[in-house]
Structure 1
Amino acid sequence: MGLGALLLVLTLLLPGRPSSSAFAWTAFRDPAGVTCEALSYNNTSLRCSWEALRPATVRLHLRQKGELGANCSSREVRSGRGPSWVLMDSCPSACSSAAEETPMELEVEAGGNGGQHQRLSRSLLWRDLVKPAAPEGLWAHQEERSGQVRLRWAPPGSWDRPASFFPLRFHLHLEYFGNLDKGLLQDLYSDRLEETTEPLRPHQILRRAKVRCQDPVTGSAWGPWSGWALPSEATPLP
């Protein structure tokens, strides 16, 4: 079990309530409760989200683990049923490099209208939380004579520099026109900011393209897709 896994789930027994109903009460749809993400290694906040089964007051406390662990930030949210999220300030002393050794700890307490409580505790390493935002400025162009498709894009604006120290892997998804406008799909993977490719079949016409990215060093989750980019007739500046 990794450090980012759930470490403790505790449902409090309340006076005058049978244990069967107390242990049956849970606030979150996902057993892990709350999931946190960061847009980059140098970001100063975490986006923590959850899916609530029922209305509850959710309190979140983030602190640095260890004997001298400091309290970093706290939030209290009145959550209804469905998805909710909140921004948490990160710990100032948190190391965000691959050599990170001291984790942060997130404590979550959910309270129901009837006095029920659920508590969860998770250890978090920053490198496990990084999920890059969508790449920007995707440009696509198909050469009229050769049919080659040229693509260019930029890293997310929130991503760390220099790129040589904070590399990204990109996943491009291309859709071509087909019979009855049913798209034919092509997937490309790249460590660069531009690619040239051939259509899947001769004389295919590019319909649209999109791109997403991940951190290849830590094998982070893939970030969200960019919006669809339509083929451009103009040639971009170098």
Structure 2
Amino acid sequence: MKRKFSLDRITIIFIGLILVGGIFSSCLKDNYPNGVSVQVAGIALINASPGSPNLNFIADGQRKPLPSLFAYDSAMAYLPAYPGYRVFGFTLPDSYNLLISQQFYLEPGDAYSIFISDSLEDAKLTYLRDTAMLPDSSMAGIRFANFSPNSQGLDLIVANTDTLANNIVYTKATAFRSIAPSTNYSFQLKEKGSNTILATLNNVSIEKGKAYTLWARGFENSNMESTKIGLAIMRNR
């Protein structure tokens, strides 16, 4: 399920993952001999490739239909995937020529977020393991990931005062950390050690007991609305 909201020219993407529990506890029997049950993994897909068109998802050489269009700033809820070594990639619409593909290893029962980033000519795939441990059920979990290709280390400031992440370089992410729930968070993206605000994300609702990934995408030196640096957020659970 994909929902997109526009606030202050920055896109917030909330993914309702109410089926995650079912994904991780379910079993697939298709294509396995003798009816052997296999616990699946879950993969979320995030398009952080600035200005890209709708992309097709390829898994082990086969095109896999997605529940909705996968354009820039789109995120897909967790899809079930067989565990083990898998090769995932993307093509342009109506094309079978791979833009990029990469082998990943999926543990059964685990969840992952797979990002495509940078321009399509230099596309890169990165996956993050989505393990969000919340020590206190009254809190939420949040992490920050940098998918702005030409950025230096980035800092993320929450509520205009607290540093949530410090000097996160391209394709890297923090671990999940606890954050108090609120219906009106503001986030600021800055270069490492700088007071210059590169992007903001305002009026963000963070619910207790939920986990979120907030990421930077776009090019730091771009003036085009469709490709300039910004922030987006997704709910992991």
Over alpha carbons, which structure has the higher Rg?
1
TM-score strictly above 0.5:
no
Whichever structure has more strand as a proportion of its residues is 2
TM-score (norm: length of structure 1): 0.29
- TM-score (ref. length: structure 2): 0.29
